Amino acid sequence: GPAMAAVRDVEIDPQGTFKYILLRLQRPGGGDTRDIVRGTAAAEFHNHIFEKVNPEMEKLGYECKCLGGGKIDHNSKDKKIRVFGLSTGYGKADHSVTVEILKEVYTDYEITWSDDKK
C-alpha cells in the first residue's frame, strides 16, 4: 500500500561507525512483510533505535519486529559500507539481508559484511 512505500528502506547516519538493527514490518493479521534497516550513532544501545522506530511504525499501522542487530561502518568518502558485529539484546541480524537492502539504496557503493566483532 501507499503507506508502506512511504517508509524508507534505509535510514542510517551518513558517516561513521554505529549500531544498527534490522526490522520486519507487518500489517496486523498478516499480509505483506517488509524489512528495513535503521542505524545511528545517537543510539548508545540497539534498543534505543527500536524504541524510536517502533512508535513511528505503529502510527502507520505496522507491527514491528526486530530481527537482530550489529554495527555499520559507513565511509561516504570512499563509498564503502561494512556490516559486522551483533546486538547483545536482539542477537545478530542476518547481515547478508542487510547488505541486500543497503545495495538497493547505495547503488554505487562497495558493501561487505562479516561476523567480526570489530
- Of residues 5 and 69, more confidently modeled: 69
Residues 32-42 have a mean pLDDT of 95
CATH 3.30.450.20 fits 10-114, yes or no: no
Residue 84 pLDDT greater than 60, yes or no: yes
Output the average pLDDT for the chain: 94
Residues 106-117 have a mean pLDDT of 96
- Of residues 2 and 22, more confidently modeled: 22
Domain spans of the chain?
A: 10-114
- The C-alpha angle with vertex 93 and arms to 92 and 98, in degrees rounded to 5, equals 145
Q: Which of 112, 18, 26 is nearest to 69 (CA)?
A: 18
**Residue 32 in grid coordinates:** 505483506
Catalytic residue selected from 46, 48, 74, 95: 46
Say which DSSP state 72 is in. E
The pLDDT, as a whole number, for residue 3 is 61
Residue 10 pLDDT greater than 70, yes or no: yes
On whether 59 is known to bind a ligand per the annotation, the reply is: no
Say whether 46 is catalytic.
yes
pTM over 0.85: yes
- The string of pLDDT tens digits covering residues 55-73 is 999 999 999 999 999 999 9
Cα–Cα distance, 37 to 71 (Å, whole number): 11
pLDDT grade for 2, boundaries at 50, 70 and 90: low
